[in-house]
Amino acid sequence: MNRISVRLVVKGTVQGVSYRSSMQVKAAQHGVDGWVRNRGDGSVEALLQGDEEDVKQVLKWSRIGPPNAEVSEVEEELLESCPRLDGFQITS
């Protein structure tokens, strides 16, 4: 199992459309740990951690999001080192 950590920033219409709670559900479905939060500029930031294939599935979903989201851009950054996370939280 190849465990990876990816930080992402999702831009577009992603606040007020249940993006964070939908990502939490998607992460749980794939056994991905991490967190997601709204940013002051209207984007959503997340940290995904888990098996590479599982993280890739959540990343794929992040480019579409829930039904009312309109994702215009997803910036991804593979992190070299990150403390191991447990569970997936919506933070502020």
Please report which confidence band the pLDDT of residue 2 belongs to, taking 50, 70 and 90 as the band edges. Answer: confident
Active site includes 2?
Answer: no
SS (H, E, C) 74-90: EEEEEECCCCCCCCEEE
Q: How many CA atoms lie within 13 A of 92 on its CB side?
A: 0
Question: Position of tokens 């990816």?
Answer: 6
Active site includes 20?
Answer: yes
Question: Out of 20, 37, 63, 84, which one is annotated catalytic?
Answer: 20
Question: Out of 2, 38, 63, 68, which one is annotated catalytic?
Answer: 38
Domains of the chain: 3-77 (3.30.70.100)
Lateral strand order in the sheet of 88-90: 70-79, 3-13, 44-51, 33-38, 88-90
All residues at 6 or more sequence positions from 55 whose CB lies less than 8 Å from its CB, including other chains = 4, 6, 30, 32, 48, 49
Burial (0-12, 13-18, 19+ Cβ within 10 Å), 44: buried
What pLDDT digit, counting tens, does each position of 39-92 carry? 999 999 999 999 999 999 999 999 999 999 999 999 999 999 888 999 999 998
**pLDDT at site 14:** 98
Residue 51 DSSP label = E
